[in-house]
Amino acid sequence: MSTATTPNIITRSELLHHVAKLHKGRFATIIYETDADCVRPKGNGLLNNDGSCRIRKRSYVSIRTGLDYNRTVNAHLQQSGKDKVETMSLPWGEWLIPNVVIKHKGNFYLRVYPAKSIDVRYSIDGQSVDKKDIAHYLKPKKDNDAYDLGDDKVIVRTVKFDNVVEINADGQCFKVE
């Protein structure tokens, strides 16, 4: 699902350098992979020995990065005719690159503002599976549309660098290996 024609293959350690150069506020596409949020009944055969789920979730999301959270929240409030507020500081970790990269306990996280979920794909042990075939193993979503910003709701996500598969931004594609 890459949008650029020839991906630049980079290492995970090079990701920080390339993320730092992203134009702040521009739209980009990120692909990241995590363990699916599974129900945990014993004997379902989908749990690893460490308790993690064998179902992997690959998310393709249109995002913006580098936005100032306080300004973004207040812009949404102002559009709704509501008073400005002072938001809290970063609740965990520390800014390595303000409004872009958080460092916490030796890990790096990309702070993103999702604009639209493009696609979600699932796999078990590397084999693609249809969501309808595994839906009963997945925990129900708490929010019907996590990307619906509404009048004054700002959605922020942190994506662990270890989970990033690919970023398409500023006409370039960076594939992490």
Contact 60/118 with Cβ under 8 angstroms?
yes
Q: Which pLDDT does position 159 carry in this prediction?
A: 95
How sure is the predictor about 43, in pLDDT bands with cuts at 50, 70 and 90? low
Contact 137/55 with Cβ under 8 angstroms?
yes
Q: Which pLDDT does position 29 carry in this prediction?
A: 94
Q: What is the DSSP letter of 86?
A: P
pLDDT greater than 60 at residue 1: no
Q: Which pLDDT does position 144 carry in this prediction?
A: 45
Q: Kindly state the greatest CA–CA separation across the chain.
A: 53
The answer to whether residue 33 is domain-embedded is yes
The 10s digit of each residue's pLDDT in 57-102 is: 999 999 998 888 878 887 877 877 888 887 777 889 999 998 899 9
Mean pLDDT of the chain: 84
Burial code (b: 16+ CB inside 10 Å, e: under 16) for 60-91 equals bbbbbbbbebeebbbebbeeeeeeeeeeeeee
The answer to whether residue 155 is domain-embedded is yes
Of 40 and 103, more confident: 103
Domain coverage including residue 102: 8-176
The answer to whether residue 27 is domain-embedded is yes
The 10s digit of each residue's pLDDT in 7-18 is: 899 998 899 888
Q: Which pTM does this prediction carry?
A: 0.83
The answer to whether residue 25 is domain-embedded is yes
Mean local confidence (pLDDT), 24-37 = 91
The 10s digit of each residue's pLDDT in 155-175 is: 889 999 999 999 998 888 999
How many domains, in total, are found in the chain?
A: 1
The answer to whether residue 3 is domain-embedded is no
The answer to whether residue 169 is domain-embedded is yes
Residue 39 identity (one-letter amino acid): V
The answer to whether residue 1 is domain-embedded is no
Out of 25-34, 106-115, 148-157, which region has the weakest mean confidence (pLDDT)?
148-157
The answer to whether residue 19 is domain-embedded is yes
